[in-house]
Amino acid sequence: MTTTDDYAAYIASLPRVLAGAAALYRDARGRVLLVEPNYREGWALPGGTVESDRNESPRTAARRESAEEIGIDVPLGRLLAVDWSLGPGRPPLVAYLYDGGVLDADRLDAVVLQEEELLSWKLVEPERLTEYLPGAVGLRAQEACRVLESGGGTVELENGRRPESA
């Protein structure tokens, strides 16, 4: 076996980890834009899977997904949260959440939903996010809102919560 073969075997033996990326868009009142998928119950933030076949970064994936899902294609702001999330029936997920900024009334009126995947959208107060977003996603979004409110740096999370040592 050559060194190249050894390296390929080593890479193939590594655990699989998924990567997802989303954007946190807000209105002037601080409410967060959520989308309602047609392929599962509940709500979501605009975003999705980082596609390795496109060699895209999490930031690029969040912007691409936002453009596809809600018709908003703007440069994203800073990284608000990184979350290591475990879930049943899937490998671990590293979720990146970026600041999508504040959308004015004209921009909100121009939201165009991707009909193949989404039913509707709405604006939700940060304190109510866990009522709409399942599990770690809701906690992650609330932590990102806290980061924005406090002016703090990027928050590291595990399943939507700050690790005890952080």
Query: Mean of the per-residue pLDDT values for the chain?
Result: 94
Which of 110, 118, 138, 95 lies closest to 35, judged by CA?
Answer: 118
Q: What angle do CA 94, 100, 104 make, to 5 degrees?
A: 160
Domain, as residue range, for 89: 20-158
Q: For the chain, what is the domain count?
A: 1
Asked, for residue 45, whether it belongs to a domain, the answer is: yes
Asked, for residue 7, whether it belongs to a domain, the answer is: no
Residue 25 DSSP SS3:
strand
Asked, for residue 166, whether it belongs to a domain, the answer is: no
CA distance to 85, 104, 125, per residue, from 31 (Å):
24, 12, 4
- State pLDDT tens for residues 37-79: 999 899 999 999 999 888 899 999 999 999 999 999 999 999 9
* 119 pLDDT more than 80: yes
Find where tokens 């690790």 sit.
163
* pLDDT of the residue at 2: 66
* pLDDT of the residue at 131: 97
Dihedral pair phi/psi, residue 19, rounded to 5°: -130, 135
* pLDDT of the residue at 15: 83
Residue 28 DSSP SS3:
coil
Cα atoms found within 13 Å of the Cα of residue 153, Cβ hemisphere only: 2
Asked, for residue 107, whether it belongs to a domain, the answer is: yes
Residue 50 belongs to domain with CATH number: 3.90.79.10
Say if CB 144 and CB 97 are below 8 A apart.
yes
Asked, for residue 142, whether it belongs to a domain, the answer is: yes
Asked, for residue 164, whether it belongs to a domain, the answer is: no
* 166 pLDDT more than 60: no
